[in-house]
Structure 1
Amino acid sequence: MKKNNIIKLQLVFANFLLLFFSCSNEIDNVVNSNNPDRNQVIANGSDLIGVVSGGFVTWWQSTSRDLYPPLAVAGDIATCSWGNFGMRVLSAEPRNPIINAASWADVSVLEQPWQGCYGAISSANDVLGAINNNGVTWVVAGTDNTPMVSAAAYLLRGLSYGNLGLLFEKGFSVDENTDLSQKLEFVPYQDLIALAIADLDKVIQLANSNSFEIPNTVINGVSLPSSELIKLCNSYKARFMVQSARDMTETNAVDWNQVKTLTENGITADFGPTGDNGISWWNNANVLMDSPNGFGPFGARLDMRIVHLLDPSQPEFFPAGSGSTLDNPQMTTNDARVGPGRDFEFRSDILFRSERGRFHYSHYIHTRFQNDPTFSDGADAKQIKTFTFEDNRLLMAEAKARTNDLSGAIADINAGSRTARGGLADLPSDAMQQDILDAIFYERFIELFNTAVGSGYFDRRRINQLQVGTFRHLPVPATELEVLSEALYTLGGTDADPSGRVPHYNLAAKPERTDDSFIPTFN
């Protein structure tokens, strides 16, 4: 990765140092790095839409690049032995700590989402400060576009805080009224999620009281009239509430009645930007599939825990001994998404390096991009499915199941991907709650593969299915801590932090397992 050092937030956020990592210079083109005073950022209404549009590019790139592969392997959704994007470090068995050090070759896994989300928040704050504090408006041919731009800025800030709350242990709360000359204190991830929901509520308020449309130049290829914007905010609020849970206790504490209401009023079609062939609107989902834009046949494979889910006769872990193979490597499953020309195809050869751990092995790879004309690999000109209608439906079904509306949950599942794409039998009308939840998570792991970044990892986390020693969230990047003169720390590691939640700075790595005497356990 080429390292582009762009100092922005020392000027706009006195306590932030942004070091953007990029394969190209597109982030540079959207970040205003010469802004000493927020009050001088936007003097004219015509500047508003450009700043917020640039902020959305920054938001998109902050979580849709390097995060896809490491979160997928850390959550045992995909498996890969390659060192790119921190995959080898973060998928080691037994689990090792995150190498939260400026010297880590893949430190962009931590820095990219942190710096990018706060860069996007900075853009949103510039726009909201101009409108709310300085009275800047944007009127064109008698039409006041200011409410639309305000809604877009609140959406940008809400989505950015939501991503920070999903990903990081803690962060900063900064809005257009924050005194940046004062030292900022960290707030926990729960507060970041609350900030996200508050901003999305402001979007809904503006959309309810005004009729407008966010043009498709803000989020590439996506036009958002007021009615659709409200649905999108409802769905994202539900996602943030549910997937920010760090364990089963927090999952049980979610207001599932509210999630049910939000999803019932959520998106009715897949949401996601249109790709621009790898210029600005692209992601690294192609690393996790057989795609000509990614690693091709060398791409990450379907983790054996997912293979076992599809076919319980398959082992949950590939035998780790020298020369180990599977007796019956091909699955036997009724799921129509498995097989030649479908979502997941069998490969007789395994192209990973055996000396890096045969526990990485799997015979199945994601091929939906090749076989489904509606599915993007992240680097083409198709819609990049970022929040699918099926995702919303499954959240709604889960909310119904957890509030004992079992018949409603069963109806949702039977109307969705389980039958429509999987070709599986309907859940029976007398299915018990746990059977319903099992069916929901089956679909979340299979149908949603390679859609929302981190989805499988977040789902494993909230139902206590992460391997012992897997980080429950990311630490504040070491480069940021050094700028703030804060103590360095990291998370994870089966010895140093089996729960994945206790800060420490022991980066010692355990030898990777070479046999089956240490089968991973979960928490």
Structure 2
Amino acid sequence: MKKIFFGLAVLFSLGSCESIGFDDPSTLTNAEAIEKIKSLGYVLTTSSVQTAFNTTTNNAGGSHFSLWADQSTNTNGSQSWWDFANEPRLRLNNNSAYRGNAAVREVYSNFYQSNLDATKVIDLIENQKLTIYDDKGADRTKDCLIGAYYAKGVSQGYLGAIFDRGLIVDDVNLKLKEFPNSYKELIENGIKHLDKTLQLIAETPNLNFDFLKGVTISKGDLVLLINSLSARILSSVARDKAEAENLGSPYWNRVLAYANKGFTSDYTITTTVGGYYNALVDVLERPYGTASYVPADIKIAYLADKTKKTPTAYPTNNSVILGPIESDDKRFYQYFTYTSNFGILLEARGRGLFSNYMRSRWMYPKLSTLNVAGAINPYFLAEETRLLRAEAKYWLKDYNGAAAELNASTASRKQKGGLPDVIANASALRDAIHYEYAIEIDGAGGTFVPFTFMRRNDLLQGGTPTQFPIPQIQLELIGEPVYTFGGNESAGEKGKFGELGTARDNGWKPASK
């Protein structure tokens, strides 16, 4: 009998295999194969896909990027949120003992685990020529191959958007321990896998994509999702405006091509018991009495205030409480709620971080959590694909085309917001797209959106890290020096591949001193 090995000399914990009950999670023996192999591939595919979905809307990491993007604010020590919201910006602490480093580690380990599980499934099917069965004995080989390539594409693409470097793991026998691949290589390899997924879907008429608990994604929706995610991931490569410009027309035409084949209506997922829910939106909208656990940053009110009286930082005079703003955008009153209750915001940690607005679009006040059966979770909004189309045309200098996207009668800013047309010039278009990401997309963009839009358009506050480093614990395992990004004193610093690692002081507002 053929002996099947799943050895991989890399730095990951093989939690999914451990949960199946192997004594050694890196090796499957003959005896175990007889007992386990029929459903192993299906179990690994399910684990891989679920981990990819969960991590694309993760609280850890997602809430931290929301703070760095000035979408949210906080003075709470929970998850070290205060450190990420702080002004002036702090250098990211890449110490494994640091509470906030859990965000870096969790995003890293989750996506690498998803990729690793998927790599094993592909090896089973393509190299070992095995048939994959589900726990009911049905042949699921084609479905699992599609699920595996999907999870690999998303995981590698997201790792490239979030981290400065990594290791492309497409071979179960890989022995390399270093992190030689740049963020660009991770993204391109992820897109290659997503393209392969689209090819396999076209060849599989009876696809059953049932890897999320209680949810089956239709073939049509899966194609739309892959195209939408591909546009999002590709657009997120640049670490600053200069890099985005230098990508050139062929690159932005690729983004546009994917976005043109993406969602035209919101893609949402209904929570099932023990199934997927959007943990990021859940925490961003979580109420704290009549206040918010993670308030919307004052940037939101600043952008929406038609009187332009809202400051870019909250008044430090503790006798001043800002009143509700006036906005021409009808959506603002649907998506955000005014409160004079500062909740858990602590004045001793900087009153300038205060805010009077909380989110009330997807969950609050009807629900106190999305982790309840029947709750509706945003996963990919149609307006994001519109914004990706508009921005691609912006970089292609098709300003009239970009304006037409934003001024279409079906655009949310027109249909729901009642806002006037955007002028077809570069400055007005960038401001309008930034506004839409801030108001319309917000937490529904998942782990790194709107952060990556602000990054590639030089809108981050000076001193903000543009990316995560490889976690300390991984670097020390292979003897590489620990490094990090961020801090006002490091504004403009470059990373290993010449990319901007810490934002310059040319963002949406001047950096605090």
TM-score (norm 1): 0.83
Tell me which residue corresponds to 1:467: 461
Equivalent residue, structure 2, for 1:330 = 324
The answer on whether the counterparts of 2:285 and 2:359 sit within 8 Å (CA) in structure 1 is yes
Q: Where do 5+ consecutive residues of structure 1 fail to align? A: 1-10, 21-25, 504-518
**2:271 matches 1:275:** yes
Match status 1:36 vs 2:26 = yes
Q: Deviations over 1:367-425 (max 9, x none)?
A: 1135698x995423323212211111211122233334444433332321102222223
Q: Do residues 286 (structure 1) and 282 (structure 2) align? A: yes
Q: Could you say what secondary structure the match of 1:345 adopts?
A: strand
Instruction: Tell me the equivalent position of 1:355.
Output: 348
Secondary structure, aligned partner of 1:88: helix
Secondary structure in 2 matching 1:79: coil
State the one-letter code of the partner of 1:189: Y
SS at match of 1:52: helix
**Residue number in structure 2 paired with 1:453:** 447
AA at the equivalent of 1:360: L
Residue in 2 that maps onto 1:201: 195
Aligned counterpart, 1:172: 167
Kindly indicate whether the alpha-carbon contact (under 8 Å) linking 1:30 and 1:57 is maintained by their aligned counterparts in 2. no
Are the equivalent residues in 1 in contact too, given 2:214–2:275 (CA < 8 A)? no
* Structure 2 equivalent of residue 249 of structure 1: 242
Does 1:260 pair with 2:256?
A: yes
Residues of 2 paired with 1:233 and 1:376: CA distance? 31
* 3-state DSSP of counterpart to 1:369: coil
Give the conservation status (yes or no) of the 8 Å contact 1:289–1:296.
no
Amino acid at match of 1:425: P
Which residue does the alignment assign to 1:98? 92
Aligned partner of residue 386 in structure 1, secondary structure: strand
Q: How does 1:15-30 map to 2 (within 5 A)?
A: 15-18=10-13, 29=19
Match among 462, 473, 477 for residue 471 of structure 2: 477
**Greater mean deviation of Cα atoms: 445-454 or 273-282:** 273-282
| 8 A contact 1:401–1:409 mirrored in 2 | yes
Pairing 1:410–2:400 present = no
Distance in 2 (alpha carbons) for counterparts of 1:487 and 1:122: 25
| Cα-to-partner distance string for 1:238-263 (whole Å, 9 max, x where unaligned) | 11111222110222234221222111
Residue 274 of structure 1, CA deviation: 3.1
The alignment status of 1:380 with 2:372, answered yes or no, reads: yes
Secondary structure of the residue that 2:358 maps to in structure 1?
Answer: strand
- Return the match for 2:384 from 388, 391, 398: 391
Provide closer, same or farther for how the CA distance between residues 346 and 12 of structure 1 changes in structure 2, counting only shifts above 3 A: farther
Is the contact made by 2:463 and 2:511 (CA closer than 8 Å) also made in structure 1? no
* Shift, 1:442, TM fit: 1.2
Deviates more, 1:417-426 or 1:109-118: 417-426
Once residues 39 and 462 of structure 1 are traced to their aligned partners in structure 2, the CA distance between those partners, rounded to angstroms, is: 48
Matched, 1:239 2:232: yes
Indicate which of 358, 365, 368 corresponds to 1:365: 358
Q: Which has the higher helix share?
A: 2
**What amino acid is the match of 2:79?**
F
Q: Secondary structure at the match of 2:26?
A: coil
Matches of 2:289 and 2:67 in 1, distance apart?
15
What is the TM-score when the length of structure 2 is the normalising length? 0.85
2:217 counterpart SS class: strand
Q: Verify: 1:521 aligned to 2:511, yes or no.
A: yes
Amino acid at match of 1:344: F
The answer (yes or no) to whether the contact 2:49–2:148 under 8 Å persists in 1 is no
> In structure 2, what is the equivalent of residue 511 of structure 1?
none
Deviation at 1:129, TM superposition (A): 0.7
Of the three residues 398, 420, 425, the one matched with 1:425 is 420
* Distance across 2 between alignment mates of 1:247 and 1:38: 45
Instruction: Kindly provide the CA deviation profile for residues 338-358 of structure 1, in whole angstroms up to 9, marking residues without a partner as x.
Output: 33xx21111122221100111
What residue number does 2:52 align with?
59
Cα displacement string for residues 265-315 of structure 1 (whole angstroms, at most 9, x for unaligned residues)? 112333354334676645132332244xx7872422221222111116234
Give the deviation of 1:119 after TM superposition.
Answer: 0.8
Between the aligned partners of 2:37 and 2:300, the Cα distance in structure 1 is: 53
- Aligned-partner Cα distance in 2 for 1:303–1:134: 52
For residues 412 and 419 of structure 1, do their structure 2 counterparts lie closer, same or farther at Cα, with a shift above 3 Å needed?
same
Tell me, yes or no, if the aligned pair for 2:286 and 2:364 is still in contact at 8 Å: no
1:212–1:324 distance in 2 versus 1, CA, 3 Å: farther
Flag the 1:403–1:182 CA change in 2: closer, same or farther, 3 A. Answer: closer
Q: Structure 1 434/15 Cα, relative in aligned 2: closer, same or farther at 3 Å?
A: same
Give the 3 Å change call, closer, same or farther, for CA 47–273 of structure 1 in structure 2. Answer: farther
Give the fraction of aligned pairs with identical amino acids, expressed as a percent.
26
- In structure 2, runs of 5+ residues without a counterpart are 1-5, 497-508
Describe the shift of the 1:230–1:62 C-alpha distance in structure 2 as closer, same or farther (beyond 3 A).
closer
**2:501 paired residue number:** none
Instruction: Provide the secondary structure at the position in 2 that maps to 1:308.
Output: helix
Q: How far 1:461 sits from its partner (Å)?
A: 0.8
**RMSD over equivalenced CA pairs, Å:** 3.1
SS at match of 2:377: coil
**Partners of 1:39 and 1:443 in 2: how far apart?**
54
Output the amino acid matched with 1:356. R
**In 2, Cα distance between equivalents of 1:28 and 1:368:** 39
Q: Work out the CA distance in 2 between the residues paired with 1:89 and 1:102.
A: 15
* Preserved contact between residue 213 and residue 275 of structure 2 (Cα < 8 Å): no
Moved more, 94-103 or 47-56: 47-56
1:275 counterpart letter in structure 2: T
Q: Decide whether the 8 Å contact of 1:121 with 1:156 is kept in 2.
A: yes
